[in-house]
Chain A
Amino acid sequence: MDMTVALYDAGDLPWRPVSTRLVRVRRLTAVAIATPLLIAFAAATLATSWFWIGAAVVAVTLIWAWWFIGRQVAAISYAELPEELVIRRGRIFRSLVSIPYGRLQYADMASGPLSRRYGIASVTIHTASPSSSGSLPGLELPEAEALRERLTALGEAQRAGL
């Protein structure tokens, strides 16, 4: 049934996955959000037993998120073609965006405290359009640095005005 993968996947396109460490970072974040909720619900259950429903909902959501984050991160990949960067992502809502290097206005690299601990960063490329969502999370730091440099250099070489 997964016919549409054909739209996004290809044998000889140089697709590259993002780091699996992103899975860990996102799962840790999910746990960090869910844990206080779970504790709060557990404490409330002592007072009114019906609160176990809330705890169960949080637990089930966490288990689902745990599983889904793996799939979600696996769905993120990118390919550096001669003239454009192609990024695809999403499991439920899939998307593929193709951004010509010549349209690059500037490139950002960012990494939060947790990401940095795991040695990953995100690279975001901006064009003159606010809807070009050229954000690529979960690149290993040296790769992120190198990609940003490459993108900037290619943008310079293939520059196209607005």
Chain B
Amino acid sequence: MSDFHEGVWTKFHPLTPILRGGVMAVAAVGYVVSQQVDRIFGSDGADPTGGHWLLAAAGLAVVLVLGVVAAWISWQAASFRLSPTNVELRSGVVRKQHRQVRYDRIQAVDITRPLLARIFGLSAVKIEAAGGSDSSVTLSFLADGLAQHVRETIIGRTHDSRSSHPASAPAVSARSTSPDGALVSSPVESEEFHVEAAPARPIPEALIARIPAARVWAATAMSANAVFVILAVPAVIVAFITGNLAWLTFLGPLFLGAGGSLLGRLTGWMNFEVHGSPDVIRVRHGLTEVRARTVPIQRIQAVEVSQPLLWRPLAWWRIRVNVAGVEQEENTNTDALIPVGSQEEVVRILTVLGPTWPLPDVLAAMTAEETGPGMVGLPRSARWLDPLSWRRRGYAVTDTAVVIRTGRFTRAAVVVPHARIQSSQVQQGPIERRLDLASVAFHSTLGPVLPSVDHLSTEQARTLLNEQIQRSSRARAHEFGIPAPSLPRAGVGALRSQEDGSSDEFAPGR
């Protein structure tokens, strides 16, 4: 539209409410028509209008008008603008919302044209940022030309903001290009733009690990599910012979569930191969269909090396990772970098990941029985909340990362680099308060690894949080070249100071 100016709040196309309400209208008309057609051709005797044509038409009209009026009111309240740094969207009548997304956080800008919109020459611009599931902003609807213009402007700004900060690499590439026109269930024309990382250089990849079939069988057999299935087989047979239906209905589904999961493992883990180059790790696996996954090493946010109890005698481990901006692998059987690897293979994979991931400390955390030197353990009072594994839990800090050790039965070492921590948190529940304990969590991106050190003493938790805030700050400054803030860092130290008496300042009655 000619009346679009950057940096000015702009309303959406005036036909938007018609389109929004129109979707409902089409559905309603379609329903009525299909009912009538059915009736005329005699396949369905009942007439939903009951013969009251006028009444039905009036009802339909009221629904239509209400829909369009509601859509019109919400159109009145909605506007967007492209400020120098953000895309901003204001919306909502009852609950007002104001969302802004910075250009440098934008991962993808798509144009979608649902069928109805296409008829009117309108488009929606869908902007996606890194973040939770709720992190997209949809500008609907705009005239085709304006939508194109807005998209190009945003892309231009995104590139500008990136090129001026080369260190803040775009985060998403592994995205399916399926058009997402969820507005109506009709064919959708979609043009996509994705901020891609620089293409990986064609460096020959080396095979790092290949899981032998025998190990897949053994590892599958040595799992809680397998033990359950083995124990359940005689029970199911006995129940079947004696005709004990209660047992059968109880055990049957459990049995099938556990068996299915085992089969999923077997087929998913067969032919598992890990290839590595300096930039990416490629995983290939599958018996019936070969599936491949590429994990850019730079995007790995956290690593967990874990070992179920039954694997301990064989020293097999599983490596799982959080990868930023990559769609979550649904199947927990196959979301690992390696689902069952020897210690030597684990070492090789961690070596490929690079020096950010402190190998000796991870190995120590994996295998050592008790907290050794360099590792901070839990206080004795933690035994009340964690009687079995409090001795094994603890953390160590290296130059590049925090290494957390957990688990008496399922052993695990979790690594999160200082520069990859999104935010940090201390928590304390009522029992922890009685025991003078507190838990520290480091928030990573979406994935199977949740780095946290539970049940430290309050003093330890305070120290860890404060020191970690500073370490992460330094690491970010180092990695992303952020200018150091001019203000003195008085605040964090002050977190450690004494209690104040003012916490009840806002007690009821004031």
User: What per-residue 1/0 map shows which CB atoms of A79-123 lie under 8 Å from chain B?
Assistant: 101111010000011111111101111111111110010000000
Which of A2, A110, A157, A162 lies in contact with B325, CB distance below 8 A?
A162
Which of A23, A94, A103, A106 lies in contact with B423, CB distance below 8 A?
A103
Q: B182 on the interface (CB 8 Å rule)?
A: no
B473–A100 CB distance below 8 A: yes
Q: B235 on the interface (CB 8 Å rule)?
A: no
What secondary structure prevails in chain A residues at the interface with B? mixed
Please tell me the size bucket of the interface on B.
35 or more
The interface centre, meaning the residue of A69, A96, A110 with most chain B CB atoms within 10 A of its CB, is: A96
B462–A7 CB distance below 8 A: yes
**Closest chain B residue, CB of each to CB of A3:** B436
Q: B85 on the interface (CB 8 Å rule)?
A: yes
Do A126 and B135 contact each other (CB < 8 Å), given the known contacts A4-B458, A70-B507, A102-B476? yes
Which residues of chain B come closer than 8 Å to A155, judged between CB atoms?
Answer: 102
Q: B171 on the interface (CB 8 Å rule)?
A: yes
Q: B494 on the interface (CB 8 Å rule)?
A: yes
* Known contacts A5-B499, A86-B495, A132-B423, then 4 further A-B pairs from the complex at CB < 8 Å, ordered by chain A residue: A23-B508, A86-B491, A108-B98, A129-B445
User: What per-residue 1/0 map shows which CB atoms of B155-194 lie under 8 Å from chain A?
Assistant: 0000000000101110100000000000000000000000
A112–B430 CB distance below 8 A: no
Which residues of chain A come closer than 8 Å to B430, judged between CB atoms?
Answer: 92-93
Which of A11, A71, A95 lies in contact with B497, CB distance below 8 A?
A11
The interface centre, meaning the residue of A11, A126, A129, A157 with most chain B CB atoms within 10 A of its CB, is: A129
Q: B321 on the interface (CB 8 Å rule)?
A: no
Q: B284 on the interface (CB 8 Å rule)?
A: no
Residues facing B in A147-162 (CB within 8 A) are: 148, 152-153, 155-162
What are some 25 contacts across the A-B interface (CB < 8 A)? A3-B499, A13-B494, A17-B505, A17-B506, A71-B504, A73-B506, A74-B505, A74-B506, A79-B491, A93-B428, A96-B425, A96-B426, A100-B423, A105-B101, A105-B105, A106-B100, A126-B132, A128-B131, A128-B422, A159-B482, A160-B482, A161-B168, A161-B479, A162-B299, A162-B301
Which residues of chain B come closer than 8 Å to A86, judged between CB atoms?
Answer: 491, 495
Residues facing A in B462-492 (CB within 8 A) are: 462, 465, 469, 472-473, 476, 479-480, 482-483, 485-492
Q: B496 on the interface (CB 8 Å rule)?
A: yes
The docked-state distance in angstroms from the alpha carbon of A99 to that of B472 is 11
B426–A95 CB distance below 8 A: yes
B473–A83 CB distance below 8 A: yes
A95–B427 CB distance below 8 A: yes
Residues facing A in B397-443 (CB within 8 A) are: 419-420, 422-430, 433, 436, 438, 441, 443
Stretch at the interface among B63-71, B89-97, B348-356, B359-367: B89-97
Do A160 and B489 contact each other (CB < 8 Å), given the known contacts A105-B131, A132-B423? no
Which residues of chain B come closer than 8 Å to A14, judged between CB atoms?
Answer: 491
The docked-state distance in angstroms from the alpha carbon of A106 to that of B324 is 16
The docked-state distance in angstroms from the alpha carbon of A48 to that of B427 is 46
User: What per-residue 1/0 map shows which CB atoms of B5-22 lie under 8 Å from chain A?
Assistant: 000000000000000000
Which residues of chain B come closer than 8 Å to A69, judged between CB atoms?
Answer: 508
Which residues of chain B come closer than 8 Å to A70, judged between CB atoms?
Answer: 506-509
**Closest chain A residue, CB of each to CB of B495:** A10
How many residue pairs link A and B with beta carbons under 8 A? The number is 234
Which of A95, A98, A130 lies in contact with B446, CB distance below 8 A?
A130
A97–B429 CB distance below 8 A: no
Which of B96, B171, B424, B490 lies in contact with A161, CB distance below 8 A?
B171
B-to-A contact residues, CB < 8 Å: 85-86, 92, 94-102, 104-105, 129-133, 135, 165, 167-169, 171, 299, 301, 324-325, 419-420, 422-430, 433, 436, 438, 441, 443-446, 450, 458, 461-462, 465, 469, 472-473, 476, 479-480, 482-483, 485-492, 494-500, 502-510
The interface centre, meaning the residue of A17, A71, A152, A159 with most chain B CB atoms within 10 A of its CB, is: A159
B469–A5 CB distance below 8 A: no
Which of B446, B458, B503, B508 lies in contact with A129, CB distance below 8 A?
B446
The docked-state distance in angstroms from the alpha carbon of A116 to that of B177 is 40
The docked-state distance in angstroms from the alpha carbon of A11 to that of B301 is 35
Please tell me the size bucket of the interface on A.
35 or more
Which residues of chain A come closer than 8 Å to B85, judged between CB atoms?
Answer: 152-153, 156
A4–B97 CB distance below 8 A: no
The docked-state distance in angstroms from the alpha carbon of A70 to that of B465 is 28
The docked-state distance in angstroms from the alpha carbon of A151 to that of B433 is 32
B479–A67 CB distance below 8 A: no
Q: A45 on the interface (CB 8 Å rule)?
A: no
A-to-B contact residues, CB < 8 Å: 2-14, 17, 20, 23, 66-67, 69-71, 73-75, 79, 81-84, 86, 92-100, 102-113, 116, 126-134, 148, 152-153, 155-162
The docked-state distance in angstroms from the alpha carbon of A86 to that of B466 is 12
Which residues of chain B come closer than 8 Å to A159, judged between CB atoms?
Answer: 102, 104, 165, 168, 480, 482
Which of B165, B485, B503 lies in contact with A74, CB distance below 8 A?
B503
The docked-state distance in angstroms from the alpha carbon of A69 to that of B506 is 10
The docked-state distance in angstroms from the alpha carbon of A114 to that of B301 is 40
Min C-beta distance of A77 to chain B, whole Å:
9
Do A7 and B428 contact each other (CB < 8 Å), given the known contacts A106-B129, A108-B97, A113-B94? yes
A9–B491 CB distance below 8 A: no
A109–B436 CB distance below 8 A: no
B497–A12 CB distance below 8 A: yes
Which residues of chain A come closer than 8 Å to B438, judged between CB atoms?
Answer: 4, 7
Which residues of chain A come closer than 8 Å to B505, judged between CB atoms?
Answer: 17, 74
B96–A110 CB distance below 8 A: yes
The docked-state distance in angstroms from the alpha carbon of A152 to that of B131 is 15
Min C-beta distance of A37 to chain B, whole Å:
22
**Closest chain A residue, CB of each to CB of B502:** A9
**Closest chain B residue, CB of each to CB of A81:** B491
Min C-beta distance of A60 to chain B, whole Å:
16
7 closest residue pairs by CB, A with B? A70-B508, A74-B506, A161-B168, A81-B491, A129-B422, A129-B443, A82-B485
Do A127 and B443 contact each other (CB < 8 Å), given the known contacts A11-B500, A12-B490, A100-B473? yes
B497–A20 CB distance below 8 A: no
